[in-house]
């Protein structure tokens, strides 16, 4: 059975002739039928298209001509990215109810990342769920319902790439594409116990442009840092449709690429010798659950044993949430504008309520928010003159009840109120990686966030790989997992 293999293990088995892309695809498809009803990670699966792609991959391996190091690996795509011939409904009835929405001919374009996945020969299994227009940090919508956490289906997987994270954690595909506008790959990675990278803005091209502007990034989500690195190498393809993307020549990752950085991080006894690490348990303004802080603190101590020079220090910033809300909700209003003045009456009720709280921003308000963002970016750039890496918890809490935007009894209705350590780094466009670092007393995953200066993505990957290698497997197999043997609940 291939469901518990990593992406790189699968590809190695293909090259050796020991594993089959067709068998791997069939196992995932069968597993989706068996377990996705418990977690609702998928909104679209096309068995015929998946098996056709898998057979093509297998033929390439038989000829000794794989398209990439990840050819044939089962992959999912968040239902935000355009995918040729497949509806991209973004969790919204506003799109699903349009005439022709289900017609493959209505969807003629691939997003840059979708094209990259196809050109690499990855086998697309399906599209994963998202909250409506990816607007919040949990995953539910009125179109596809509530997506649930494989570790406990009563809990949320986080969001907005919650379907992607739940699929990876549950063994339903090794690679997933997500988006991150305020933490949307990192939050669900932390809640589901997987790895996710928000690269520096512009490193991975985006098209069409996000309504959330330059807050929005595309990012890989996988089970290991090495898989994330290998997927990054696959996604680094220029696309002229994104005028804001960084030219490929400026991001050429050097010999071996991101995967080489991951390998370097897991090699030797002290792979981080001399690295200057700042550890901030709360960024100077948050409140972190003691169990989360305990697990992150233990992992930080491990970084010291790997040679890093760790200093507990805050970056000297204040919470930029008010500015983030201006940028975020102005973008969300722009999403709804083409659907007419009554559109807000037909969206996620919590979105409607949030837009009631945050609306009617002026151009001056927007420019003031941009000024806050620029000052924050300048402060973090200065901070990284003295510190190579910043470590924080990914989220200050573990997963909470599914179907709610915030934990029960929470002091605020805003999703941003419980994830203050993610959205600042969308505003600054820095690379940020979430890596599992332990569990709460209840056995729920805890994520550690590795933040680097802009364009220091490979350093972030190297640190994550070193930590992962030193910690080993710190998160148990989820309760809902495709590779469980019937009857005993064990992998």
Q: Which of 78, 127, 136, 198 is catalytic?
A: 78
> Would you tell me how many other CB atoms lie within 10 Å of the CB of residue 289?
15
What SS3 state is found at 230?
Answer: helix
Q: Is 160 a catalytic residue?
A: yes
Please list, in sequence order, all residues whose beta carbon lies within 8 angstroms of the beta carbon of residue 45, skipping any fewer than 6 positions away: 29, 32, 125, 126
Beta strands in 303-415 (DSSP E): 309-312, 389-393
Q: Which residue, among 69, 202, 182, 177, has the nearest Cα to 134 in the 3D structure?
A: 182
Q: Is 184 a catalytic residue?
A: yes
- Give the integer Cα–Cα distance in Å for 259 and 281: 29
Measuring CA to CA, how many Å separate 92 from each of 43, 75, 241, 329, 354?
12, 23, 25, 17, 16
End-to-end CA distance of the chain: 11
Q: Which of 20, 57, 92, 160 is catalytic?
A: 160
> Would you tell me how many other CB atoms lie within 10 Å of the CB of residue 33?
11
Measuring CA to CA, how many Å separate 192 from each of 62, 95, 186, 222, 257?
36, 29, 10, 11, 27
Beta strands in 20-112 (DSSP E): 42-45, 74-78
Catalytic residues: 78, 160, 184
């Amino acid at each position: 059975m291939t469901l518990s293999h990593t992406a790189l293990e699968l590809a190695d088995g293909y090259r050796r002739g020991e594993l089959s892309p067709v068998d791997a695809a069939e196992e995932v498809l069968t597993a989706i039928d068996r377990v996705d009803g418990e977690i609702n990670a998928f909104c679209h699966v096309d068995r015929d298209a998946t098996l056709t792609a898998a057979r093509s991959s297998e033929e390439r391996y038989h000829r000794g001509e794989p398209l990439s190091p990840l050819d044939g690996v089962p992959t999912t795509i968040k239902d935000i990215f355009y995918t040729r011939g497949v509806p991209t409904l973004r969790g919204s009835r506003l799109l699903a109810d349009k005439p022709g929405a289900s017609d493959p001919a209505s969807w003629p374009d691939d997003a840059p990342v979708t094209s990259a996945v196809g050109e690499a020969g990855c086998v697309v299994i399906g599209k994963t769920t998202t909250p409506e227009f990816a607007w919040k940090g949990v995953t539910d919508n009125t179109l596809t319902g509530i997506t649930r956490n494989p570790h406990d289906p009563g809990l949320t997987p986080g969001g907005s790439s919650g379907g992607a994270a739940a699929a990876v954690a549950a063994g339903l595909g090794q690679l997933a594409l997500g988006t991150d506008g305020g933490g949307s790959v990192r939050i669900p990675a932390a809640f589901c116990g997987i790895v996710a990278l928000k690269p520096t803005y512009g490193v991975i091209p985006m098209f069409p442009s996000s309504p959330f502007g330059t807050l929005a990034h595309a990012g890989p989500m996988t089970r290991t840092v090495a898989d994330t690195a290998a997927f990054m190498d696959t996604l680094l393809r220029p696309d002229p449709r994104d005028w804001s993307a960084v030219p490929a020549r400026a991001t050429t990752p050097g010999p071996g690429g991101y995967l080489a950085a991951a390998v370097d991080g897991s090699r030797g006894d002290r792979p981080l010798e001399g690295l200057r690490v700042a550890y901030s348990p709360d960024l100077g303004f948050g409140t972190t659950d003691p169990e989360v802080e305990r697990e992150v603190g233990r992992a930080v101590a491990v970084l010291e044993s790997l040679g890093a020079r760790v200093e507990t220090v805050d970056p000297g910033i204040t919470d930029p949430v008010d500015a983030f809300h201006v940028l975020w909700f102005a973008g969300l209003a722009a999403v709804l504008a083409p659907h007419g003045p009554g559109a807000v009456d037909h969206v996620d009720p919590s979105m409607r309520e949030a837009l009631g709280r945050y609306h009617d921003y002026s151009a001056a308000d927007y420019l003031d928010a941009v000024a806050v963002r620029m000052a924050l970016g300048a402060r973090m750039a200065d901070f990284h003159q003295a510190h190579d890496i910043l470590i924080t918890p990914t989220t200050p809490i573990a997963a909470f009840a599914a179907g709610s935007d915030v934990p029960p009894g929470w002091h605020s209705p805003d999703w941003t109120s419980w994830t203050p350590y993610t959205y600042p780094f969308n505003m600054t466009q820095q690379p940020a990686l979430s890596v599992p670092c332990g569990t709460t007393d209840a056995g729920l995953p805890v994520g550690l966030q590795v933040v680097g200066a802009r364009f220091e993505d490979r350093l972030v990957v190297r640190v994550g790989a070193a930590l992962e290698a030193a910690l080993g497997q710190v998160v148990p197999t989820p309760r809902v997992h495709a590779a469980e043997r019937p009857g005993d609940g064990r992998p």
